[in-house]
Structure formats: structure tokens, C-alpha cells
A and B are shown apart, each in its own frame.
Chain A
Amino acid sequence: GAGVSQTPSNKVTEKGKYVELRCDPISGHTALYWYRQSLGQGPEFLIYFQGTGAADDSGLPNDRFFAVRPEGSVSTLKIQRTERGDSAVYLCASSLASGDTDTQYFGPGTRLTVL
């Protein structure tokens, strides 16, 4: 079956612009996670959805970052007034349920470059 997909695969933008990154989870997966991976580092948690609601957004770095999942499936990560420090690979993952033993399946990521 289809895995987690993310679009676009690459996004180049200018400082101060607004960007949206999309994630399509595996069908039937209720939990969805966003992570950010800087070069040479492990992924860092941003936000987690259970269904339509954001159950944990403690990893969002500031109020320029926002994410939605209005119908409990596709999610969009939105970044306002982008800064050069936002440049990273943004990863989405989904799992059948949420819990400390559930396997998360990752998408290929969106590479964001802020010039």
C-alpha cells in the first residue's frame, strides 16, 4: 500500500515569505507527527495530532509555526515570516495509534531552503 507522502519534496523561498508543507499519512492511521531535521542532526519533534486535534504542540519553536489536520487525514505545516534558520528537512510520520510502542512510518520529507 501507499506510504506517507509529502509535498513538495523541495521548497526554496525567500526570507519573510509564507510556506505550506503538506503531509498525506497512511490511510487509516489516526496519529500524525511532524519533525524537523537539521543537517547532521537527528529529527526533532514539532507537533503531534490524534485525529483532528493537536494533542501535543510542545515542539513548535515559536508562533510562526502552525499546523492543521482538519479532516483527520492530510496535515499542513504552515510557517509564517520564514527565517534562514528555518532551513531544514521537515519530516512527517504516521502511526496506526498513538502510544509509546507504536511504530511510526516516515515520509521522504520536504527540504526547505530559506534564502
Chain B
Amino acid sequence: GNSVTQMEGPVTLSEEAFLTINCTYTATGYPSLFWYVQYPGEGLQLLLKATKADDKGSNKGFEATYRKETTSFHLEKGSVQVSDSAVYFCALVPSGNTGKLIFGQGTTLQVKP
């Protein structure tokens, strides 16, 4: 079946540190891949997405590259800020599907000044 696995959290970093949050998936064909973010007290927001292999999604300094060969979509940012503290969810929609998102369990990021 289709599934998403994320690295366990919480991830605690100092401001300006490099961030990687690992995400791997299991799916047939070519799913679309997403990163959603949930800031404290707010709803889920789309951070970035990639819809085909080797595509790179980017937004707000975050990047993730769709790697078909390793079935991965790791999230990276070169220099995190305190305001990036949030819960990050990796998700997929199976190819040809009507949009049903399948989420990972989420990774909490805490950035300290």
C-alpha cells in the first residue's frame, strides 16, 4: 500500500543551523509529493510540492527534491530561524488519484535563538 515515513522528532537546532528532515515513501507509479507545515496555533499550510521525478519544490528558503530512485523527498533549509519552529508533514497523493493525501506522522522542529 501507499505510505510515508518521516524521521522521528523533535529536531532541535540553533538559529542559522542547516536543517534536514528525512522523508521516504512507498507508492506505485509516480505519486505527487508534498511538504505541509503546521505553525503553533495555526492550520496546515502547503510549504512546497513536486509532481514528477527530479523536480525540486522550493518556498521560503526550504527545498525538497523528488528522488524516484531512493523514493525520498527530504526537506532542507540552509539557515533556520526561530520562526521556522513548527510541525512538518511529508505527504503524497498516489498517481492518478483524486487527491487523497497520505501523510507521514510529522516531525517537530524547535529552533532556539
Contact = CB atoms under 8 A, between A and B. Distances in A.
Interface of A: 4, 31, 33, 35, 40-45, 48, 50, 55-56, 59, 91, 93, 95, 98-109
A42 B97 contact: no
Contacts of B98: 31, 48, 50, 55-56, 98-100
A99 B97 CA distance: 6
A108 B95 contact: no
Contacts of A40: 105-106
Interface residues of B, number: 27
Given A41-B106, A100-B32, A101-B51, A106 B43 contact: yes
Contact of A100 (B46, B94, B103, B106): B94
A100 B105 contact: no
B102 interface: yes
A100 B51 contact: yes
Contacts of B82: none
B113 interface: no
9 contacts: A31-B98, A42-B4, A45-B101, A93-B101, A99-B99, A100-B31, A101-B51, A105-B46, A106-B45
